[in-house]
Amino acid sequence: MDSRKFAAACVGAALSLAVTSFGSIALAADMTAWKPQPPPPPPPLDIHGFFDVTFANDYITPRGLLVTNTGLTTQIVNGLTFDLYKNQNGLINSFSITVGTFNDLWSQQNSVTGGANAVTPGRFDAVGSWNEFDWWVSADWTIGKYWKTGVTYITFLSPPGAFRQERNVEPYIRFDDGALTGWAFTINAYAKLFYAISGDSTVVVGNQGNTYDVEIGMVPTVDLKKITGTPLTIAAPTWVTVGPSSYWNRGVTGCGATTTIEPCSLSNAGVFTTGLALKETLDWLVPTRWGNWYGKGGFQYYYIINDSLLLAQTFTGTASSYPNAHRDVWVGYAGLGFTF
């Protein structure tokens, strides 16, 4: 083969290879264009739900009223949160609305007739172990990324008719130091005003409506997941309540060792409490497609500062007399819940 034929053969082979390669590339591009693409991930949910059940030995309110101290207390909290506004770059970073309910069941109430209804004399309610029902709606904001604030309207109801409906409003503010530092240890200091609008006294012997107390506290928390990878948080909820002395006592007597007419010593402090709370996420056990489940347990210690809260125990049945009232209260609990 002479040089001219050899050159022609080489050129032809090169052109054939180029055409074949271009055709393969075009075919691959064409196939890629027609290949079904995975759908984009769904946007984050703007509606969230929560469910929590707690089993405890006693029921004492955040204001220091010992409601029950025998049998088993079961408390169920659930609700929905609606995220209505988000803006990480603005002064107001988020705004949400939450609606929820609280139910307290007391194993030793065993209400067949429920007792006399305090609202409608002569009426009797059969509610079994159902001890209390609350419902609330709250509006919550994040301001400047690190401040949480909001206001809650909450109504306390007694299915057995032990007290008249109590309407209350609770504004609060909390500093989210975890959002500021990103540390595994946070303080979470807060203050909350509890204003009783109307109804029976929320501490039994105090003013009935148009009164208030203030809860000042913090929730020091260690997130072990940020340190060791263990999905466990350890917290120490701690607070004290203060307010006008009339919030705890409107003039009811009975704080004596031997007489029911002895007046109570008045105080502007209500209760001090601290405890230990453990919470573990259960994604190793329950798939997250079923929600974010958790288990919890711990204890809370309450020191009753105000003598009128001791007197109130004689009305709720948690003490047989004022001298036998409980100034130190320990509540142990365990439970589980989920969010989505």
Residue 260's pLDDT band (cuts 50, 70, 90): confident
Residue 149: inside a domain: yes
Domain-located, residue 89: yes
**Average model confidence (pLDDT) for the chain?**
89
Classify residue 102: in a domain, yes or no. yes
Span 139-153, mean pLDDT? 97
In three-state secondary structure terms, 27 is: helix
Q: What is the mean pLDDT of residues 126-139?
A: 94
Tell me if 32 is assigned to some domain: no
Residues 221-227 have a mean pLDDT of 97
Instruction: Write down the pLDDT at residue 237.
Output: 98
Chain segment 69-85, per-residue pLDDT in tens: 999 999 999 999 999 99
pLDDT for 132 equals 97
Q: Report the pLDDT averaged over residues 220-242.
A: 97
Calculated CA dihedral for residues 86, 88, 91, 96, nearest 10 degrees: 30
Domain of 242, CATH number, reads 2.40.230.20
Interatomic CA distance for residues 81 and 78, integer angstroms: 10
Cross-strand bridge partners of residue 300: 275, 331
Q: What average pLDDT does range 257-278 have in this prediction?
A: 94
Which residues are CB-neighbours of 221 under 8 A, at least 6 positions away?
A: 178, 185, 186, 188, 233, 234, 235, 236
What is 256-277 written as a DSSP string? SSS-SSPBPPP-SEEEEEEEEE
Instruction: Say which residues have a Cβ less than 8 Å from residue 247's Cβ, sequence separation at least 6.
Output: 196, 203, 206, 207, 211, 212, 213, 270
* Residues 329, 12: Cα–Cα separation, whole Å: 97
Q: Would 57 be classed as within a structural domain?
A: yes
Lowest mean per-residue pLDDT among 41-45, 210-214, 272-276, 304-308: 41-45
| pLDDT computed for residue 27 by the predictor | 42
Domain presence at residue 25: no
Domain that holds residue 262: 48-339
- The pLDDT score that the predictor gives to residue 131 is 95
Selected residue with higher pLDDT from 315 and 3: 315
pLDDT computed for residue 112 by the predictor: 59
pLDDT tens-digit map of 162-195? 999 999 999 999 999 999 999 999 999 999 999 9
Confirm whether 213 is domain-assigned: yes
- If you search the block for the tokens 């309910």, which residue do you land on? 101
Q: What total number of domains does the chain contain?
A: 1
Using the 8-state DSSP alphabet, how is residue 45 labeled? P
Q: What token pair was written down for 70?
A: 């025998």
Euclidean distance between CA atoms 247 and 212, whole angstroms: 6
Residue 116 maps to a domain? yes
Average pLDDT estimate for 266-288: 97
